[in-house]
Structure 1
Amino acid sequence: MSSRDAILGRVRAALADVPAVPAADDVEVDWEYGQRPATAAEDTLGLFVERVEDYRAEVSWVTPTEVAARIADALGDHEVTSAVLPAGAPQEWRDAIAAKGITVLTDDPVLNHAELDGTGAVVTASRVGIAETGTIVLDHGPDQGRRALSLVPDLHVCVIRADQVVADVPEAVARLRPSIDARQPLTWISGPSATSDIELSRVEGVHGPRTLRVLLVDG
């Protein structure tokens, strides 16, 4: 008898007293990939905030007129002396940050790794947020900049509009389809960078920003 036959024989013996049950019937679900699921949370924004905060990120609700000032306040809270903004970031963001006495850097011409590493923070917009997973996705458009910007500085202040938040990953992928078709890079952010060893000792800032501040623009 081979080892395979011996193992299968033991499995059959172990299952000998398990009653046979009819196979479950397939039930057709009226749903297409990317369509908002019927089971989506009624309070999508509330779930998004809850899940993002579960990752130890800080979420602040802001109105459209408050965005620039709240960005500057977030940078001031962390006592950074410099921040880099993508070339396509709104001018009012730059003005509010500069008025706070913080040096504003623009990634044009491209900053090298040493210059980025010496920068206290990065401020970006975003493309889509996912309530179910608490994830923010950047497709690195003009107001988000290249991937290195959101990976090297220790603080990331990320602005996302309420209408950019969707229920789940399939709905997010549907939103991202134009970016995918255009072969744009995607960065999926679920809280600040963190990892843990076999003893579950958490270490933050290993693979990216140690701190994530999210400004959720509503209204």
Structure 2
Amino acid sequence: MQTNNTSDSVLLRKSQEKLHAIAIELLKGDFAVEGKLVAGILEEADLLQQVASRIEEHNAPSSTGSSVCQNNEAIAPSPSRTGLSPSKSIIASESFPLVFIQDNALYKVGEKEKPDPDGTRGTWWKRVSLKEAEEIMGVIAALAPGRYRQSEIRDEVIARGALPTLPIYRVDVVITALLKINALSVPTRGYYSVAGGTPQEWLHVLERYPKRGDLLSAKK
């Protein structure tokens, strides 16, 4: 019985990877692609991955240390191996912080903690040029496999000569964007690991996120 379950898991994962690859190719294409179509493909792929994970968890031997890391912090659930996921932002309103590419820059828009005097809650934003974002993503991809802090990623970018200086907030903007599309996972609090994809695929997915230029006129 366990052998059959394992075979089912392998087949499900292969199907999930094929669906994901199809979605990525559609996003790469020069022709217009209906966002809901790609979102539907990715959602189906995610469902297959979830079922496969449950089968594998059921077959896996129990271990008292499997759900905690060395410092006893809970390990966050990891996304699928290839798991880029733009679907939720394409077909539904996205929660803050928002990320999107506009005017040759990658933006992160957050909501203020305290409301303004008129009772409304304003927003703040940060940006990093697309060129810098690509440089940072390239270094993040080159660091895989492994897990790294924001400061370690920043230092590695500078050490490799990609950028002479790099404010930490720009790394944060890129990391937030990659977390949004499940390109990064959080194996331990404060650390990040590459979960799947390449910088080129990450940018193609991020380009599909709704542009919110209306929020950029707000005071930071």
Q: Give the TM-score normalised by structure 1.
A: 0.23
In terms of Rg, which structure is larger? Answer: 1
Query: Higher helix proportion, which one?
Result: 2
Query: Higher strand proportion, which one?
Result: 1
